[in-house]
Amino acid sequence: MGLDDAILIRTSNTLKYEDNRVLMLDRRQFPEREVWQRYSTYEEVASAIEDMVIQGAGSVAFAACFGLALAAHCYSSLDEAEFEKNLVKAAGRLKATRPTSEYMIPLVDKMFQVAVEAHAKGPDPAEAVVRKTEQLMDDDDQLTLKCGLHASHLIDDGDGILTHCYPGGALLYMLDYARQQGKQVRVYCSETRPYLQGARLTAASVHKLGIPATIVTDNMGAFLMAQGKIQKFITACDRITMDGHIANKVGTYQYAICANYHRVPFIVLGYDGPQTNTLSAGDVEIEERNPEEVLYCRGVRTGAPGVEGYYPAFDITPPTLIGAIVTDRGVFSPLEIGRAYKHRFSR
């Protein structure tokens, strides 16, 4: 087993645009089954994103762009004003699916402009959107690799690494590079209720990499740290603010508090860094999902009849609890990352 076996490492392995259909590997059924779902309208893509068919900030963003391509294809015969009017509606619907994701909203806006410009020049603007999105997916894989490489230098031989949710391809690249550097590690994957991304996605991917993976329940992290089993706490994030806060799967904040108490470094895989329009934690909209979702686990009701649920999908961790944020550019202090990325779009 090795890196080539880790199917989730590249977005192109799980998301495709073919024959005016968007194809998604259904992460709700992975790893027991590798099932591809097919969608022919932007509304179907939006619903799939909301229903957690596809997960992860980058993957969700690219899926939304492909959804916009479907809309562009559908409305391509309309005149310029009507085309733009309908595409605005489609873009708004897609951007509303995951409001905490910092990457998706500006990317969909960018693809909107690509579609409008292409519509003025040719018969099918969808092709331009798809071509640009696929290019960005390739670029994303390269920055993911670089992020993982930089992070690997923060790993020590013998480390026990606690993860939460699915940190994406950068985690797998990090682990593979650390192994090439002669380091042996074990990864403890929190199960991540209610969708079990840690148990199903992270653990399966790490195992396919040939690195020991242990699934733990979401309430074991502090005890593992107290036992000395954890030397690093590592997650990705869905948003980084310019002042160094991060928004990630709910539960990250409490793990960060535990890590700080036990003097376990918290390392964030920040991929391409913060967006300059997210200045502070107050600029982050926390997605609140259907409360019913926490009353079930993989279709089986676990909550007592009559009780209520509550499901904020993300929480915010302050920079004082974060040891380092790693991006494709290198390793940064959370208190300095805003300064480092002040002119991020001039690179």
Query: Can you state the angle between helices 104-119 and 57-74, rounded to 10 degrees?
Result: 20
Domain boundary among 142, 173, 196: 142
Contact of 150 with 144, CB cutoff 8 Å: no
What does the pLDDT look like over 136-181, one tens digit per residue? 999 999 999 999 999 999 999 999 999 999 999 999 999 999 999 9
Same domain? For 138 and 211 the reply is no
Note the pLDDT of residue 344.
67
For residue 330, the cross-strand partners are: 327
Same domain? For 275 and 167 the reply is yes
Left, alpha or beta for 290 (phi > 0: left; psi -120 to 50: alpha)? beta
State which residues form the domain around 189.
146-346
Same domain? For 137 and 268 the reply is no
Q: What CATH number does residue 71 fall under?
A: 1.20.120.420
Does residue 346 register a pLDDT over 50? no
Same domain? For 133 and 160 the reply is no
Note the pLDDT of residue 7.
82
Residues annotated as part of the active site: 238
Note the pLDDT of residue 234.
98
Domain boundary among 123, 142, 161: 142
Domain boundary among 142, 172, 198: 142
Same domain? For 244 and 111 the reply is no
Torsion of CA 53, 328, 240, 337, to 10 degrees: 180
Give the count of domains, the chain: 2
Same domain? For 182 and 121 the reply is no
Same domain? For 126 and 153 the reply is no
Q: What CATH number does residue 215 fall under?
A: 3.40.50.10470
What does the pLDDT look like over 54-95, one tens digit per residue? 988 889 999 999 999 999 999 999 999 999 999 999 999 999
